[in-house]
A and B are shown apart, each in its own frame.
Chain A
């Protein structure tokens, strides 16, 4: 009798469970998959909270976020998945590679979705950001965050060597002198501290090329101009620095350090560094006592304040199973709601015009300096060979500082290699 009762109970339970799951299947939201390679914090959890916010905001789609391996230019995971037809609906890509991935056939053209929505992204986003997201007149990604670069300097070091901590170097010549003053040697070729390692942090080829007044790309003629005399001069200046302090000595010294707790700027091993706005968050955690200043990147006289902006974008890979849901989420995450959350939680800068004045979103007043740089910020050429150009410029810079090539030769060689690749895609 007792067994019989238990059996009946089980039947009822199973039937109920089936009914519930049936109802669930009918009412279930459409799945949207979202991939990012942002595995670090606070970026990752902030993206998750944007996903949660989106899922709560409507009942049609359910976004699921997955962190995948990859980096700014390494999208092997995405490419193999798209080729196999198992790609996600939305992928967060480094915005300056949009054209490259679009030409490779990895992305869905968003223009039809935008037109159907009767929306003008050009009105919503900062011009440089939407330009980076566009190739051949078609929009392939929606701009997400951005960032700018500046010179960070340690005020106590300035005081120590008799420099005014409120008057940081403004020109390249001043910078060169200050670097020398701040450098402390143990022996001729060993350092206790270097004033500045030009290529450390965000001191990229682009940073100095622009600071010397150069231009990397002629948009009208679709010609690379990386052998612009000003850029050649910026490479020559870096070669001079390498020569003066000894390249092996500098690189050995530089490679001893890392990020976060091993940051050479926090450890007082370099007095100045070119870096992005995200460094403020790191300094707060790993060097809370440090008294530092932020100023414009020193330039050649007459070049004016220079900075450059990067950042990421939401793209729909080709073969997305749910492109409508993907576009819906991309627009939400890259829209005012998503960007407001991201700006507030991660202190990256927004690319939405309406959010650019919102200093209240910035966790630290020092971010305002970076926000103020956005109106004149430069961005990397929106060409389908962005990743190749970046790697080639980096190699050229390495050749020059190691004395393997002259600046002119190294930069001519970059054009030789990259322009032909660019022409193939025009």
Chain B
């Protein structure tokens, strides 16, 4: 196990050069993560630890806290709609932007623009678009004879409205899909065309398998994003009406900063982490059959 002097020197130098990152990681990531795990077993106001409660916070959350269940349900509802819908919208946009038309770069820019607008500002604009009396959305619906709902004021619609709004940011994912679409070798399509394959078959048997690693990446990132949905509810609805948009992270935030229950909020954060981890593992395991990496034997 002996190291030569040169190896030792290299190790020290290596560590020294990596030190800024190591220190930053330990101080600003590892320590806070470990501390929040500890806090999750305590009653912690954010300033003082007033008691050690073991798994008390977790038990309270899982067995007694009605709002916790509601917030988890709201987030899962959002996730189960926003992830598939986001995927379909982004892929459709990407395929449209992959068409060989002259001014396509203008469209690409337009589709991406929403991503550079802060979610905060966009939420306010959407509040106006979705205004039940004077909003553009209901105005358009009225032209075709539909009296639109109170998008964010009606508890039956509020979550779905936020799902729809999220599609406004689909341009970012569309760009990633577009890049992967352009990576699919032309020769595969040419061969298929020689064999007389239809457009659907080319999509199903060439495009989808070839971009499947990117789809997996998208789904996992979208799941993470959906578990953490916060901003639109924080700004547009404040969790209402009737707690119908009280998402998991919004409830966590309230516990931490409005109610002085930082310990409970830490426990919620850890449970969310475990939930996201398990979901990701399931997706990774079950996706092995669908995802094709080039060069891989099948």
Chain A interface residues toward B at CB < 8 A: 73-76, 79-80, 82-83, 100-101, 103-106, 190, 248, 251-256, 318, 385, 387-388, 391, 394-395, 398-399, 402, 404, 413, 417, 421, 424
Say yes or no: A105-B131 contact (C-beta < 8 A), given A402-B242, A417-B66: no
- A21 CA / B256 CA spacing, docked (Å): 45
Shortest beta-carbon distance from B53 to chain A in Å: 10
> Could you say which of A79, A394, A413 contacts B46, with CB atoms under 8 Å apart?
A79
- A388 CA / B132 CA spacing, docked (Å): 30
Q: Determine whether the beta carbon of B47 is less than 8 Å from that of A83.
A: yes
Report if B45 contacts A (CB, 8 A): yes
Q: Determine whether the beta carbon of B150 is less than 8 Å from that of A395.
A: no
Q: Determine whether the beta carbon of A103 is less than 8 Å from that of B155.
A: no
- A76 CA / B149 CA spacing, docked (Å): 34
Shortest beta-carbon distance from B7 to chain A in Å: 42
Say yes or no: A248-B150 contact (C-beta < 8 A), given A83-B47, A253-B133, A255-B131: yes
CB-CB under 8 A from A251, the residues of chain B are 150, 153-154, 241
CB-CB under 8 A from B260, the residues of chain A are 79, 100-101, 103-104, 106
Say yes or no: A256-B154 contact (C-beta < 8 A), given A74-B258, A104-B45: no
Q: Determine whether the beta carbon of A106 is less than 8 Å from that of B47.
A: yes
CB-CB under 8 A from A74, the residues of chain B are 257-258
Q: Determine whether the beta carbon of B254 is less than 8 Å from that of A391.
A: yes
Interface of B is mostly: loop
- A421 CA / B255 CA spacing, docked (Å): 12
CB-CB under 8 A from B147, the residues of chain A are 190
Q: Determine whether the beta carbon of B134 is less than 8 Å from that of A256.
A: yes
- A199 CA / B45 CA spacing, docked (Å): 32
Interface of A is mostly: helix
Q: Determine whether the beta carbon of B243 is less than 8 Å from that of A395.
A: yes
Report if B152 contacts A (CB, 8 A): yes
Shortest beta-carbon distance from A200 to chain B in Å: 12
Shortest beta-carbon distance from A69 to chain B in Å: 11
- A83 CA / B49 CA spacing, docked (Å): 12
Q: Determine whether the beta carbon of A252 is less than 8 Å from that of B153.
A: yes
- A140 CA / B149 CA spacing, docked (Å): 47
Q: Determine whether the beta carbon of A104 is less than 8 Å from that of B242.
A: no
What would be 27 A-B contacts, judged by CB atoms less than 8 Å apart? Answer: A74-B257, A76-B253, A79-B46, A79-B47, A83-B47, A100-B260, A101-B260, A103-B260, A104-B46, A104-B47, A104-B48, A104-B260, A105-B45, A106-B46, A106-B260, A252-B153, A253-B133, A255-B131, A255-B153, A388-B259, A395-B67, A395-B240, A395-B242, A395-B243, A398-B240, A404-B242, A413-B66
CB-CB under 8 A from B156, the residues of chain A are 248
Say yes or no: A255-B66 contact (C-beta < 8 A), given A82-B47, A318-B47, A402-B155: no
B95-138: CB near A (< 8 Å → 1, else 0) gives 00000000000000000000000000000000000011110000
CB-CB under 8 A from A83, the residues of chain B are 46-47
- A399 CA / B155 CA spacing, docked (Å): 10
CB-CB under 8 A from B134, the residues of chain A are 256
Say yes or no: A387-B258 contact (C-beta < 8 A), given A82-B47, A190-B147, A252-B149: yes
B41-53: CB near A (< 8 Å → 1, else 0) gives 0010111100000
| Residue of A79, A82, A399, A417 most packed against chain B (CB within 10 A) | A79
Q: Determine whether the beta carbon of A79 is less than 8 Å from that of B240.
A: no
Shortest beta-carbon distance from A356 to chain B in Å: 32
Q: Determine whether the beta carbon of A256 is less than 8 Å from that of B243.
A: no
Beta-carbon nearest neighbor of A251 in chain B: B153
B225-261: CB near A (< 8 Å → 1, else 0) gives 0000000000000001111000000000110111110
Beta-carbon nearest neighbor of B255 in chain A: A388
Q: Determine whether the beta carbon of B132 is less than 8 Å from that of A255.
A: yes
Beta-carbon nearest neighbor of A398 in chain B: B242
- A255 CA / B133 CA spacing, docked (Å): 8
